[in-house]
Every structure is written in C-alpha cells, then in structure tokens.
Amino acid sequence: MKRILLSLLALFAFAINYAQTTHNINWFTGASPGTTIVASGDTVNWIWTDGASHSVTSDSGSTETFDSGILPNGSTYNRVFTDPGSNPYFCVVHPMMQGTIEVALIGVEEDRHLTFQYYPNPVKDYLKIDSPLIIDSVQLFDYNGKLLMDAPVANKATNIYMGVFPEGLYFLTVRSGDAVKAIQVVLDKD
C-alpha cells in the first residue's frame, strides 16, 4: 500500500511540475499566514474573508513589487510570481496583517541534451548518478523547494546519501557546464 501511495505521489508531483499551481490565502483582519512557498509561475490568490477593506502590498526589500490597492470585503487579488526570492507583504489598512511569498527555484530551465542515469528510484539510502559528461554539481530540494544540499562533484559519477532525510518526494538538479537537468526522486526507506 505504501508503494502505491508513493507512486501516486510521484505521479501527482510530476503533474504539478508541468502545471502551474494556484495558492489561496484567506485575507482577514489579524491574518498572519506566514511564509507560502511557491514555484516560479505559480499564482497566489488573496481572498478577503471578513467585513473590512484590505490591501496586499509588497514590503520594502521584496523581490517583486505589487499592490492591490485598498479593496472592499469580498474582493480577491491575484498575482503570478516569477522571480526566485522573498516577497514580504502587508495590509496598509491593518499593518499587523503580513506574510511572505517565497518563490523557490523548483522549475529550472532544463537542457534536454544533458543525459545521465540515476538509480534506484525509489531510493532507500544512496542515489547513484552516472553521466557521460563531467557533473559540476548537484542540488537537492525538498517538495517545498527548500534547498537541502548543494554539492560540487567534478566527476562523471556520484553517490548521494539520502538516508538522513524523511521519506517523500525530492527534486534534484544536475549541472554540467551550462546544461541543467531536473529530476524527481522518491525516498522510500522500506
């Protein structure tokens, strides 16, 4: 059953990787949604859910600049985020309402000519990568786009120990010169 669930999760994640996602945030007096992690190209939709007027306004130092203006109850404001980085925001009417949109580097521009073998997948502990070209580096990201490892390789083969991480779906980017290829790996310790 667990293998079926992980297989479905991998298929779901594969679909997500090629389809953009909309993230909904309830926006009401006192709201403090924390950090929402999105991929480049995802849409964030704020929904006014109380009787007050609000805004969604980027804070100074935000990677992208945005401002909904002050809108009445029942309004929505949406924005597509494209630039990797941190986007703190707040309501100009109620400054204690604040959050952050973190645009993660999940969807990287891939070079389809970079080929390599990686196995096993699902992986229990070590993931092996074999390439006909010198691998410059590998980066490992969790499902939310958080960078877990950024390792130089400078070889045609490498082993990545994943046994220290919890079971689930991971994204790995492999770089060789200017070429980058992203893969999905399922960690299943059973």
Give the separation between CA 136 and CA 154, rounded to whole angstroms.
5
User: Cα separations (Å) of 26 from 50, 78, 121?
Assistant: 9, 12, 38
- Both structure tokens of 96: 């204690």
User: Which domains can be identified in the chain, with CATH numbers?
Assistant: 2-104 (2.60.40.420), 117-187 (2.60.40.3080)
Question: Radius of gyration over alpha carbons of the chain, in Å?
Answer: 20
Q: How far apart are the first and last CA of the chain?
A: 12
60: which DSSP letter? T
Beta strand 34-39 with 98-104 is parallel
The percentage of the chain sitting over the pLDDT mark of 90, rounded to a whole number, equals: 45
At 78 the three-state DSSP class reads strand
Q: In whole numbers, what is the pLDDT of the chain averaged over residues?
A: 83
| Token pair 């007096």: residue | 29
Hey, what are 168's tokens? 């689930």
CA atoms within 13 A on the CB side of 133: 15
- The confidence score (pLDDT) of residue 62 equals 92
pLDDT in tens, 44-98: 999 999 999 999 999 998 999 999 999 999 999 999 998 888 899 999 999 999 9
Q: Which helix (H) or strand (E) holds 100?
A: strand 98-104
Share of the chain above pLDDT 70, in %: 85
Strands 98-104 and 85-90: what pairing? antiparallel
Task: Map residue 11 onto helix, strand or coil.
Answer: helix
pTM of the prediction?
Answer: 0.50
